Amino acid sequence: MDGKAGEKRALTGNEAIARGFYEAGGVVASSYPGSPTVEILEKTKVYEEIYGEFSTNEKVALEVGIGGSFSGARAMVSMKHVGVNIAADPLMTFTLTPTNGGFLLVTGDDPGLASSQNEQDNRVLGKFAHLGILDPSDSQEAKDYTKKALEISEHFEIPMLLRITSRLCHSRSVVVLEDRQEVKSKGINRSKEKFCMIPPGSRRAQMFMKERLQKLEEYAYDTELNTLEEKQGSDTLLITSGLVYYNLKEVEPEASIWKLGLVYPISKKRAKEITSQYKRIIVIEEMMPFIENELKLMGIECEGKKYFEYTGELDVPDIEEGLYQAGLLKNKPEGSKRFVETVSRPPLFCTGCPHRPTFDILKKSKAKVVVGDIGCYSLAALFPFEQSNSIISMGASIGMTKGIRKAMSLTKEEEPLVTVIGDGTFFHSGLPTFVNLLHQKKDNENMTFIVLDNRTTAMTGGQHNGSSGLYNERDDMRVGIKTLLETMGFDRIKEINQYDYKAAEKLFKEEIAYEGLSIIVVNGPCALRYNLEKPYFYVDPKICISCRACIRTNCPPLRMIEYEGIEKLKSSIDKDMCVGCSVCAQVCPVNAIKSSKASEKEGE
Amino acid sequence: MNKLIKNIMFAGVGGQGLILMTRIISQAAMKDDFDIKSNDVVGLSQRGGMVWGNVRIGKKIFSPNIRPGEGDILVAMEPLEALRWSAKLRDDGLIIMNSKRFYPTIVQQEKEEYPEVAIEDLKANMNVIEINAFEEAKNLGKKQVANVMLLGILAKHLEIKVETWKETIKDNVPEKAIDLNMQAFDLGYVYQG
């Protein structure tokens, strides 16, 4: 994203944050890929002035960022909301120390759970960690606040949190570019009592943390980040922040609006001054009643969640409905009919995905309990595979399996357990849990761990991870999962090419039956990232016996259709969509599915 | 309400390149001095699920979201998705529909029928321009240019200059694919339905 000062660009919130970091003279950027914030790091990597990396997990990413700040340079760490949970350990202590170079943590919250396992409001985590929190309303503000956050961070020596939501991350609006401002590194601050968090220094740091927030609260009194739009003659004040502000503006309410850009801390003095001018105070915010509770703690009477849903996004019709309930709109708003009730279209494994044969085999296997994890393969929980009994958080499947096995063994339940984990998740937080499996291990405990190694973080668009380099020359990490596990001390590890369906089926059967701990590393490149494109396959309807074995693999180009002159429905393949992975041909019991390449050779 | 606002919606299946389309329209509209806000759904739904997006163009745009019943034009890359999102359009809104079908899992597994009848009704009752952009693009040489063909049709219904459209498309596609994309855009622009 080159561009000169004064140029206008239509940028997403993510792109705007990356640009803001560049303009602010940012030096170190780190992240772990997760929707909705993936693009932030991808875009910072464009600038050669910035060192950017997708780290192994969010905790490591945060540590890299802390190091950047500690060295005196400006640093930014971005992640999805649940990522902050992973990073929470270093974060909670880092916030006891002063920042040296400006430090910004970006969290992508997901109201409405568009692509997440939960919906957590990280403003709460921000307060818990004693961070200052900014909440932008559009892309221009996302850029401006990124810069402002780094300034505030350096001035008050406080790590800052930029809270952004999925909608804003991916929505585009006009942004005016500015030049990069080079910021001279301050160099490492070696003051041990400030940076080594052991008592008694850490006890003093508690006081520092409190005083620092008090100073920021004084700054909040008249910061331009918060704006008051007064409506003549109105006795009602609406308080809001983030994208909700612009949704509220669509409604054109007959009330004044106090828009908060700095949502924590809020100046008590300023809040009292402003709210005392109004009879009624209504807070409009997504997810938790954060601002509402802050005001109530100050003794300010206000309403909020009484009228607005505690979960999901607040779009224009939701705001209208809430304001109507509150008596601020005279006419009952029309309902928010979103779409026609019709056939649903849930996500599914991509055409040629190597995970598809794995779950097709598992569905037919004796595995009663399949413990799932976070990644593309989470889709196996959906129809038609329905092969996941739980999905909790990154890497949780391994530790949970141990707990399930130990509990079941005590009650003499011996049915096999199968656990799946992807390569990205394996490196992210699976490793320590694998180590833990070796502890108090009993020989007859039947657990089969399948590591789905497609050598990329596929769910978020194909970012690299520990094993990417084994398929891709440009990637510098070449960690072999099988070798790593062997070195750890596991003795039964098999490896199989996932596209070799028959061999995989046989191996799965053996390993699931094996009464002990076994690991299968299944290899198959992500069909999207590594652009699987081989000659397409087709169905010979005269041979097809309509058994639907191929259809059950759920590959998108497959479908039962009517052929002219044939009474029964027969299978078919959309050749424009087929990438030639061959799995359907391998499951066909009568060889009705053939490669177009083979048929060309035969001269058909 | 600001009368100048045009609300354009997109609907399709994950992986069809919807985000590129919203980007191109946003940039083109901005170049011709309109304010814009756009919106895309990405993430989990990339994997063959339903995806949608929208662009709002006008003098001053507040929310990137379109209110139900206020969409002016729906560009649907798939007929079932056209049907699904049609309720967000104004009654006299326009649907530009690619006729290439992508069958959802539940249809593939023969649990439900693809709603052909409802799609026929939609075509009969609303203003629909239908094109098999996928086939047309294949004929041109590359199925990926189907989206630009749809943009060509859309361009006719917006007050953005043709040169601006072309410039913006050039900025967003690989150099060697520029000629093909220009052909696809022109083909869409003159398409009569």
Of A334, A340, A347, the CB nearest to B47: A347
Q: Is the pLDDT of residue A164 over 70?
A: yes
- Read off the amino acid at residue A562: E
Q: What is the pLDDT of residue A336?
A: 62
Q: Is the pLDDT of residue A75 over 70?
A: yes
CATH number at residue A293: 3.40.50.11610
Q: Is the pLDDT of residue B92 over 60?
A: yes
Q: How do residues A171-220 score in pLDDT, each as one tens digit?
A: 999 999 999 999 999 899 888 889 999 988 899 999 999 999 999 999 99
Alpha carbon A527 to chain centroid, angstroms: 21
Q: What is the pLDDT of residue B1?
A: 40
The model's confidence at residue A543, banded by pLDDT at 50, 70 and 90, is very high
The pTM for the full model equals 0.95
Q: What is the pLDDT of residue A1?
A: 65
Q: Is residue A489 part of a domain?
A: yes
Q: Is residue A138 less than 8 Å (CB to CB) from chain B? A: yes
Of A317, A342, A459, the CB nearest to B83: A342
- Assess contact for B7 and A151: CB atoms under 8 A: no
Q: Is residue A340 less than 8 Å (CB to CB) from chain B? A: yes
Q: Is the pLDDT of residue A472 over 90?
A: no
The model's confidence at residue A392, banded by pLDDT at 50, 70 and 90, is very high
CB contact under 8 A, A340 and B134: no
CB contact under 8 A, A350 and B15: yes
Q: What is the pLDDT of residue B44?
A: 61
Q: Is the pLDDT of residue A604 over 50?
A: no
Strands (E), chain B: 6-13, 35-40, 50-58, 71-76, 89-98, 127-131
Domain residue ranges in chain B:
6-190
Q: Is residue A457 part of a domain?
A: yes
The model's confidence at residue A332, banded by pLDDT at 50, 70 and 90, is confident
Q: Is the pLDDT of residue A267 over 90?
A: yes
- Assess contact for A144 and A103: CB atoms under 8 A: no
Q: How do residues A560-589 score in pLDDT, each as one tens digit?
A: 999 999 999 999 999 999 999 999 999 999
- Assess contact for A109 and A133: CB atoms under 8 A: no
Q: Which residues of chain B neighbour A171 with C-beta distances below 8 Å? A: 37-40, 64
Q: Is the pLDDT of residue B5 over 50?
A: yes
CB contact set of A475 (below 8 Å; sequence gap of 6+): A464, A468, A469
Q: Is residue A602 part of a domain?
A: no
Mean pLDDT over each residue of chain A, to the nearest integer: 95
Q: Which residues of chain B neighbour A554 with C-beta distances below 8 Å? A: 105, 108-109
Q: Is residue A345 part of a domain?
A: no
Question: Average pLDDT, stretch A250-277?
Answer: 97
Q: Is A588 annotated as a binding residue?
A: yes
User: What range does the domain containing A295 cover?
Assistant: 226-326
Say whether both A180 and A36 belong to one domain.
yes
- Assess contact for A19 and A1: CB atoms under 8 A: yes
Buried b (16+ CB within 10 A) or exposed e, B115-146: beebbeebbeebebbbbebbebbbebeebbbb
Say whether both A426 and A514 belong to one domain.
yes
Q: Is the pLDDT of residue B158 over 80?
A: yes
Q: How do residues A216-262 score in pLDDT, each as one tens digit?
A: 999 999 999 999 999 999 999 999 999 999 999 999 999 999 999 99
The model's confidence at residue B2, banded by pLDDT at 50, 70 and 90, is very low
Say whether both A158 and A105 belong to one domain.
yes
The model's confidence at residue A338, banded by pLDDT at 50, 70 and 90, is low
Look up the ipTM and state it.
Answer: 0.94
How far apart are the C-alpha atoms of B34 and B42, rounded to whole Å?
25
CA distance A528 to chain B (A): 10
Region B6-190: CATH code: 3.40.920.10
Q: Is the pLDDT of residue B45 over 70?
A: no
Q: What is the pLDDT of residue A600?
A: 61
Q: Best interface-test mutation with B: which of A342, A531, A559, A576 has the largest number of B CBs within 10 A? A: A342
Q: What total of structural domains would you count in chain A?
A: 4
Q: Is the pLDDT of residue A500 over 70?
A: yes
Q: What is the pLDDT of residue A35?
A: 93
Say whether both A361 and A472 belong to one domain.
yes
Say whether both A307 and A375 belong to one domain.
no
How far apart are the C-alpha atoms of B116 and B124, rounded to whole Å?
12
Of all residues in chain A, the percent with pLDDT exceeding 70 is 98
Q: Is residue A393 part of a domain?
A: yes
Q: Is residue A127 part of a domain?
A: yes
The model's confidence at residue B46, banded by pLDDT at 50, 70 and 90, is low
The model's confidence at residue A124, banded by pLDDT at 50, 70 and 90, is very high
Q: Contacts from A364-367 at CB under 8 Å and sequence distance 24+?
A: A364/A505, A365/A418, A365/A508, A365/A509, A365/A512, A366/A416, A366/A509, A366/A512, A366/A513, A367/A416, A367/A417, A367/A418, A367/A448, A367/A512
Q: What is the pLDDT of residue B3?
A: 55
Chains A & B: contacts with CB separation below 8 Å = 168
The model's confidence at residue B138, banded by pLDDT at 50, 70 and 90, is very high
- Edge-first strand listing for the sheet containing B127-131: A8-12, A172-176, B35-40, B50-58, B6-13, B71-76, B89-98, B127-131
Say whether both A156 and A18 belong to one domain.
yes
